[in-house]
A and B are shown apart, each in its own frame.
Chain A
Amino acid sequence: MPIAYLWSDYLASNGGPTYLKSMEWDQACSHYENWDVVLLGASRAERGYNPAIFGSHGIRFFNFGTSAQSMVNASVLTKNILSSACQIKEIWIDMHPASFKDDALESTADLIQNIAFIEAPYEIAWKSRDFRSINLLMKRWFCENGTVTLGTAQYHKLGYVSVDKKLSQDLIAQIPNFKPFVSSDFYPGKKSLQALEEIIQLCKEKHVELKWIISPVSIFNSEVDMNRLLDVLMPMAATNNIDLVNFAHLEGIETAHHFYDEKHLNSNGVAVFNQALLDTLYQQ
């Protein structure tokens, strides 16, 4: 084991939902030749789209959302997913300001440790331009046969992680008097926007349809950040003929009942949101 690994305060364990979905994708892709949708995005994607709901409408759906997945890492995943043996009709990306921050070591650490694609960890480490990523890459080399910690998250099939909790009483008490954020330093990062351009190009080359989805947000979400992201995304979507489905404020979704924390939908929220998404896309 390299000494460098011991120095780092930023480690990701081998295992967890990313490990499981990566393994599952390998098998699923070889088992089924055609996939309707592969979803990318951060934890809001991982916990916000239930492939079983889409599957019940005949849509073969794989959720490749991973914890804190940045746009830079999403572009590497897109490249690898589109190079897989199976055919993919559509790539969906769950859009949120958090994915557009250029510094994304949490996601990098998780993916370097757990992703099954052979070249992806090297590219992710290289793109991060951070010594800690190289360190994690070394850990991956040297600990390939180490123990896998599967964690306690409720991992379902096809990449979905569900959370059945309700919003804490503390947060529910804050809702009536919550003051929206009006100030923010957020602007979509340059590297992230370049990565998004790469994803668009990759999808065009492979004739894969790209859709951008904004899943419901709670009352605690920063509207300022979301609007700054939309200012950039909308012209990109329009000029590249990409569907941008904005369900940030969806009828029937309430912070108190459909979220389990400030950012993530609980399973009740997922059911409402996924059904609305299906209805909209069917109508289209």
Chain B
Amino acid sequence: MTDGQTISVLVPTPLRRFTAGAARVDGTGTKVAELLDGLDARYPGLRKRICEGDGRIRRFVNVFVNGNNVREGDGEATPLRPGDEVGIIPAMAGGASGRRA
């Protein structure tokens, strides 16, 4: 999956149109925000699907580092190390009320 030097990023189906269909891509960076910057440079438009204009991760998108949701930690500032696995996954939500959970 990863050579230990880069960060393996799991790309969810709805975002694969940005990565030419790739389900996993490699990235680099010492923090989540830096990783996303680098990915956006290679796959323009990807970051906008994950982050708000101010760089914060969208409420209905989750980013996991080695299985831990960064929202419960340092968010976009979550540190990364080579060999880490980052997963990006849009939420599945809705409901009859029209409220946003």
**Are A and B physically bound partners?**
no
